[in-house]
Amino acid sequence: MAETITLTVSRYRPEQESEPTFQSYDVPYDEDWVILDALNYVKDQLDGSLTFRWSCRMGVCGSCGMMVNGTPKLTCAIPLSDYVSSGPIRIEPLQFFPVVRDLVVDMNGFLGKLSSVKPWIIRDDETPPTEGEYLQTPAELDVYKQFSMCINCMLCYSACPVVGLEPEFTGPAAIALAQRYNLDSRDQGAAERMAVLNEHEGMWGCTFVGECTEVCPKNVDPAAAIQLYKMASATDWFKSVLLPRGSK
């Protein structure tokens, strides 16, 4: 059984280098450890300067996303034992995002995209809270529940080549989030969101590679959300052409 395992980690310290380099660390191999445990071992015992994000260590906060051997993963969810017999584990910051330092990426663009889809209940007619909540049946919840499970871990953005090719592309998580609200029975804002997403940088940048759904740790299936959106947009288009006044 292996005694140690090697992590080859991307380092980037803007105050001392102009581009990232790799640094290798040998950590003890423990079959109960996940990659995040190994990274924390490095930081605690070997090199306190290593910088990375993490929080819940159980796959619900979305903080610890990194490229592991070229695939975006939540490092708290990947056992070291998966890699014990395949050589050093290459760990890099999430692909297609600018690097702030070491394994930390700049999230501001992503956060801007999330808010651009108006991710809140939009009502034509607001009723005051004193009149009670907007009721929703379990069946109505089921319609959008899957798309509400997103933890904003950004793995889907790192998997999507369009994000790399067109940085303004709204992206899988944001479009899935828009669908989460469009399909919510309490929401009346689908037309407003359609105006935002019916653009080249919106849903039409997507060419259905499908990798976003493949890497999503929460089975949100953002690819499906986007294709549903395209279908809705095409339907809207036909309605506006065939029934110019009667489509609402």
Q: Phi first, then psi: what are they for 65, rounded to 5°?
A: -65, 130
Gap between the Cα atoms of 208 and 204, Å rounded? 10
CA–CA distances in Å: residue 26 to residues 5, 108, 176: 6, 33, 39
CA–CA distances in Å: residue 84 to residues 34, 65, 68, 122: 11, 20, 13, 50
Rule CB under 8 A: which of 189-218 touch another protein? 198-200, 204, 207-211, 214
Q: What is the dihedral of CA 97, 91, 211, 107, to 10 degrees?
A: -30
Our finding on whether 228 is near another protein (CB under 8 A) is yes
Question: Least Å distance between CB 62 and another protein?
Answer: 18
Q: Which of 37, 184, 187, 221 binds another protein (CB under 8 A)?
A: 221
Kindly give, in sequence order, each residue whose CB lies less than 8 Å from that of residue 119, ignoring residues fewer than 6 positions away.
177, 178, 180, 181
Instruction: Pick the closer one to another protein by CB: 101 or 113.
Output: 101
Q: Phi first, then psi: what are they for 238, rounded to 5°?
A: -65, -40
Our finding on whether 236 is near another protein (CB under 8 A) is yes
**Neighbouring C-beta atoms of residue 217, cutoff 10 Å:** 20
Our finding on whether 18 is near another protein (CB under 8 A) is yes
Question: Least Å distance between CB 189 and another protein?
Answer: 19
Number of residues lying near another protein (CB under 8 A): 44
| Binding map of another protein across residues 115-154, x = CB under 8 A, - = no contact | ------------------------x--xx-----------
Q: What is the dihedral of CA 107, 56, 67, 212, to 10 degrees?
A: -70
Of the candidates 124, 238, 113, 116, which has an alpha carbon nearest to the alpha carbon of residue 189? Answer: 124
| Binding map of another protein across residues 55-94, x = CB under 8 A, - = no contact | ---------------x------------------------
Tokens of 210: 């499908």
Tokens of 229: 């959106």
Q: Which of 58, 121, 191, 234 binds another protein (CB under 8 A)?
A: 234
Instruction: Pick the closer one to another protein by CB: 30 or 140.
Output: 140
| Binding map of another protein across residues 155-184, x = CB under 8 A, - = no contact | ------xx-xx-------------------
Gap between the Cα atoms of 241 and 234, Å rounded? 11
Instruction: Pick the closer one to another protein by CB: 77 or 143.
Output: 143
| Binding map of another protein across residues 90-109, x = CB under 8 A, - = no contact | -----xx-xxxx----x-x-
- For another protein, the binding residues (CB under 8 A) are 12, 14-15, 18-20, 70, 95-96, 98-101, 106, 108, 139, 142-143, 161-162, 164-165, 198-200, 204, 207-211, 214, 221, 223-224, 227-228, 230-231, 233-234, 236-238
